[in-house]
């Protein structure tokens, strides 16, 4: 296993819609192990394959830090099938370090996908699990937390990041 580089905004792979995984291969198992190690090392509660430069629909989530009944979730091709309620809360992102954004998300979701072995699975989540699943699925669709900000805040953020990048170069 290895800790992978987490891609940061404005990397192109973060804005692309990830490809559906057809069949789960050995390379996917290695990628999952590396993603899990990377997520814990960051530290984070979720990670999507595009965040480590792989444009495929794979996520890992572990909210056990805030919910001791939770365990590690690995999903291929996750889709939100049912949702209810709304709740607004602050979110951060490993790919957009130093930024937190107040985001409205569904309070409860039901997500379907495939587990590591390729078996169909449905996960029902509420609270932090619901938020983490939605956040990681956003990554698979090329959506970042900055895309959920208002226009003016987003433009201010982009200009500030551009200036910071120019200072580093």
User: pLDDT tens across 36-85, in order?
Assistant: 999 999 999 999 999 999 999 999 999 998 888 889 999 999 999 999 99
Indicate whether 139 pLDDT > 90.
Answer: yes
The top-level CATH class assigned to 12-168 is alpha beta
Catalytic residue among 90, 91, 136, 164: 136
Residue 136: active-site member: yes
Kind of pairing between the strands at 58-61 and 120-126: unpaired
CB 103 within 8 A of CB 88: yes
Backbone φ, ψ for residue 37 (5° rounding) = -60, -40
Nearest-CA neighbor of 31 among 53, 13, 62, 12?
53
What is the pLDDT at residue 166? 81
**Mean pLDDT, the chain, whole residue set:** 95
């Amino acid at each position: 296993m290895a800790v992978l580089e987490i891609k940061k905004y404005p990397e192109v792979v973060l804005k692309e819609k990830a490809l559906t995984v057809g069949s789960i291969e050995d390379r996917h198992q290695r990628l999952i192990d590396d993603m899990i190690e990377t997520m814990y090392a960051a530290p984070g509660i979720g990670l999507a394959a595009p965040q480590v430069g792989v444009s495929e629909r794979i996520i890992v989530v572990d909210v056990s830090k805030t919910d001791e009944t939770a365990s590690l979730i690995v999903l291929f091709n996750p889709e939100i099938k049912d949702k209810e309620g709304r709740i607004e809360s602050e979110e951060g992102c490993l790919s957009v370090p130093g930024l937190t954004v107040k985001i409205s998300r569904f309070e409860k979701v039901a997500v379907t996908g495939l587990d590591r072995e390729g078996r169909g699975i449905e996960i029902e989540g509420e609270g932090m699990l619901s938020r983490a699943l939605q956040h990681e699925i956003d990554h698979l669709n090329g959506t970042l937390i900055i895309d959920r900000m208002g226009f003016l805040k987003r433009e201010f953020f982009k200009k500030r990041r551009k200036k910071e990048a120019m200072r580093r170069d």
